Amino acid sequence: MTKEELSNIILPRHIGIIMDGNGRWAKQRGLKRSEGHKEGAKVFRAICDYAAEIGIECLTFYAFSTENWKRPADEVEAIMNLFRDYLFEAQEREEENDAKGMRIRYIGDRNALPEDIVNLISQLEAHSAEKNHITVNLAVNYGGRDEILHSVKEIATKVAAGELNPEDITLKNIDENLYTAGQPDPDLIIRPSGEYRLSNFLIWQAAYSEFWFSDILWPDFTSDDLDKAIIDYSKRNRRFGGV
């Protein structure tokens, strides 16, 4: 996007991206599915950098859902390895990410993840907590229903302890106990690969999100595609239930 285009549009504050189509991309080339994920991880890095460059405040990438454990063990392992590689790299390139003002957050249920990955996540989250140019949320072992359940359990614990009256529970209480607590709801959700569904991604937070779909497979997604999605978004008339 040119500087002029950028100055003329309202940018979404938070963009959610469902990185879909890696398997089909690999199949089209006669490659293993894991090769598609590998390429997808490269695109993830490039889109992070580009979004930071144009001034997006928050990005959430759906990398692995609570349902993805059903995939063959070698594919699950390949995705976890790519995630691990990225976390290692982020640690190694700490200075570079700090200079970009990048805050890295994990969203999902970390209990089922390998211990070394959980440790890497905690270190990166702690290190980057005060950075404020862009927040990158990594949704791994993430499910929207699971997240709502988690929030409800937190609230129920407060009720059981006598700290909260059931009549006083508000939408804000639910928000505050989601993995995304304190972050703006996604303004724009992008799903490539020709699928038209949310697949349990940010289902609570997406109540008023705008959607952008495309047939492009995630490994082929470029910064030009992100521009197109953002420009389309900027032309939408958001009413949030009003007139």
- Please report, as ranges, the residues that interact with ligand FPP according to CB under 6 A: 19-24, 37, 40-41, 44, 61, 63-64, 68, 79, 82-83, 86, 138, 193
Q: In angstroms, what is the minimal distance from the CB of 210 to ligand FPP?
A: 22
DSSP state of 20: -
Active-site entry in 20, 137, 141, 177: 20
Q: In angstroms, what is the minimal distance from the CB of 133 to ligand FPP?
A: 19
Residues 6+ apart with CB under 8 A from 12: 56, 186, 187, 188, 210, 230, 233
- Residues 77 and 66: their CA atoms lie apart, in Å, by 15
Pick 186 or 219: Cβ nearer ligand FPP = 219
Residues 6+ apart with CB under 8 A from 44: 19, 61, 63, 86
Active-site entry in 22, 49, 68, 187: 68
Q: In angstroms, what is the minimal distance from the CB of 42 to ligand FPP?
A: 9
Pick 42 or 153: Cβ nearer ligand FPP = 42
Active site residue 20: yes
Pick 21 or 144: Cβ nearer ligand FPP = 21
Residues 6+ apart with CB under 8 A from 93: none
Active site residue 232: no
11 within 8 A of 182, measured Cβ to Cβ? no
Pick 37 or 151: Cβ nearer ligand FPP = 37
- Written as six digits, the tokens of 220 are 């082929």
Q: In angstroms, what is the minimal distance from the CB of 83 to ligand FPP?
A: 5
- Alpha-helical (H) ranges within 58-190 are 73-92, 94-99, 115-128, 144-160, 171-176
145 within 8 A of 200, measured Cβ to Cβ? yes
Query: Catalytic site residues?
Result: 20, 68
